[in-house]
Amino acid sequence: MGEVDPAFIQDPDHRPKLSITEVEGIPLIDLTPIISPDSISDPKAIEVVVREIGNACRDWGFFQVINHGVVLDKLRKTETAARKFFALPLEEKRKIRRGEKSVLGYYDSERTKNVRDWKEVFDFTVEEPTLVPASPDPEDKEETEWYNQWPEHPPELREVCEEYAREVEKLALKLMGLIALSLGLPENRFSSYFKDQTTSIRLNHYPACPSPQLALGVGRHKDGGALTVLAQDDVGGLEVRRKTDGAWIRVKPTPNAYIINVGDSIQVWTNEKYQSVEHRVMVNSEKERFSIPYFLNPSHYTIIKPLEELINEQNLAKYRPYSWGKFMTNRKLSNFKKLNVENIQIHHFRVSE
């Protein structure tokens, strides 16, 4: 999967810790009162779920959900097809490698500037084509379309992935409704932002790493979109930076659960009442790991700014408005060429106090 950058090994801020306590601190929320038709009429049970989600978003930025309504057979079929794809010879997988012109498809850590990420991935967009800005230039008003690249093998990959995407979309949008309710807003408050969504799904494969103390599956980062819905296998490796003390907390895999995390867009919409949190993925010296994150993203023409209902004279807007499409296009471009400026982050739009 490529050599590890020596500079990375010497960087104590990025170097993985060899020992970490695995705790079950991430809240686990049962969505039965929301999903089950038998309990939908119990407003008190629904209120409990809404309150739990609000507390988890505020205190952790992460939570797990069970009894979520996703047909798990569709997840299993997607996992099986993903394993078949990643088992193909490298030259076969690279036939659909992503690039500056085709930003979706396959890539591995050997091809990226960030060689410390010990993984290979396959990206596809949920809405095809996905309409996006042609460039991150604020003055450029042109649009372009993103199309998926599907491999010849396994032949079932496209169908199972598309079916799975439709399943998870229902859960993701339901969660956005619950988050809105937890903020005291109408359940459909965020709905209009996802009419022409730029949502994508990633199939991750983390091979066993002979020197796990020298690499990460994914370095520390925050997700820029609205919400991430993650399915992971039983190997584990995801770590979350706890807000209270900055400690890295291992997220123990829960059978049939999804891991949910708040993205930067929600942090801005809520004016930091709910904040995105740094997370990373550790590699394993003996076992390979697979995961499937679903990145719920708004339409490219969405202007991200604090919601008017959540700001007042005592709680002024902490961010200037920005275009999600331009923000996302800039982030994508940084995958393929070295930019002359720091990769764009939401702190670039934060209002100075």
pLDDT of amino acid 290: 97
Nearest partner of 302 among 211, 220, 224, judged by Cα: 224
Looking at residue 136, its pLDDT comes to: 86
User: Residue 3: its pLDDT value, please?
Assistant: 34
> Which residues are within 8 A (CB) of 7 and not within 5 positions of it... i.e. 6 or more apart?
none
Q: What is the pLDDT of residue 200?
A: 98
* Strands laid side by side in the 279-281 sheet: 22-23, 248-251, 238-241, 279-281, 218-221
pLDDT digits (tens, 9 = 90+) for 92-117: 999 999 988 889 999 997 644 444 67
Which DSSP letter does residue 342 get?
P
131 burial class (0-12, 13-18, 19+ CB within 10 angstroms)? middle
Over the stretch 284-302, which tens digit does the pLDDT of each residue have?
Answer: 999 999 999 999 999 999 9
Number of neighbours of residue 162 by Cβ within 10 angstroms = 16
Would you kindly state where each structural domain of the chain is located, as residue ranges? Answer: 6-128+149-310
Task: Determine what percent of the chain falls in helix, strand and coil, rounding each to the nearest 5.
Answer: 30, 25, 45
For residues 291 and 156, give the distance between their C-alpha atoms in angstroms, rounded to a whole number: 18
- What is the pLDDT, as a whole number, of residue 352? 82
Beta carbons of 229 and 172 less than 8 angstroms apart = yes
Q: How would you classify the pairing of strands 227-232 and 258-262?
A: antiparallel
Along the 353 residues of the chain, how does pLDDT read in single tens digits? Answer: 333 333 333 333 443 333 333 345 799 999 999 987 765 568 899 999 999 999 999 999 999 999 999 999 999 999 999 999 999 999 999 999 998 888 999 999 764 444 467 899 999 999 999 999 998 888 899 999 999 999 999 999 999 999 999 999 999 999 999 999 999 999 999 999 999 999 999 999 999 988 888 788 898 999 999 999 999 999 999 999 999 999 999 999 999 999 999 999 999 999 999 999 999 999 999 999 999 999 999 999 999 999 999 999 999 999 999 999 999 998 887 655 554 445 789 999 999 86
What is the pLDDT at residue 214? 79
Q: For the chain, first and last CA: distance in Å?
A: 45
Question: Which residue in 8, 74, 62, 79 sits closest to 292, CA to CA?
Answer: 79
Do 226 and 298 form a contact (C-beta atoms < 8 A)? Answer: yes
pLDDT at 337: 53
Task: Give the Cβ contact number of residue 247 at 10 Å.
Answer: 15
List C-alpha distances in Å: 230 to 64, 65, 103, 152, 172. Answer: 9, 10, 21, 26, 10
Tell me, what's the pLDDT at 13? 40
Closest listed residue to residue 197, CA positions, set 301, 106, 112, 284:
301
Decide: 226 and 266 in contact? Cβ < 8 Å.
yes
Rounded CA-CA distance 212/204 in Å is 17
Taking only Cα atoms into account, the Rg of the chain, rounded to an integer number of angstroms, comes to 20
Report the pLDDT value the prediction gives residue 16, as an integer from 0 to 100. 39
286 three-class SS: coil
Q: State the pLDDT at residue 94.
A: 96
Report the alpha-carbon distance of residue 209 to residue 287 in Å, rounded.
8
Q: Has domain 6-128+149-310 been given CATH number 3.40.50.10860?
A: no
pLDDT for res 153: 97
On whether the pTM is more than 0.85, the answer is yes
Q: Considering only CA atoms, which of 255, 234, 277, 289 is closest in space to residue 65? A: 255
pLDDT given at position 116 = 63
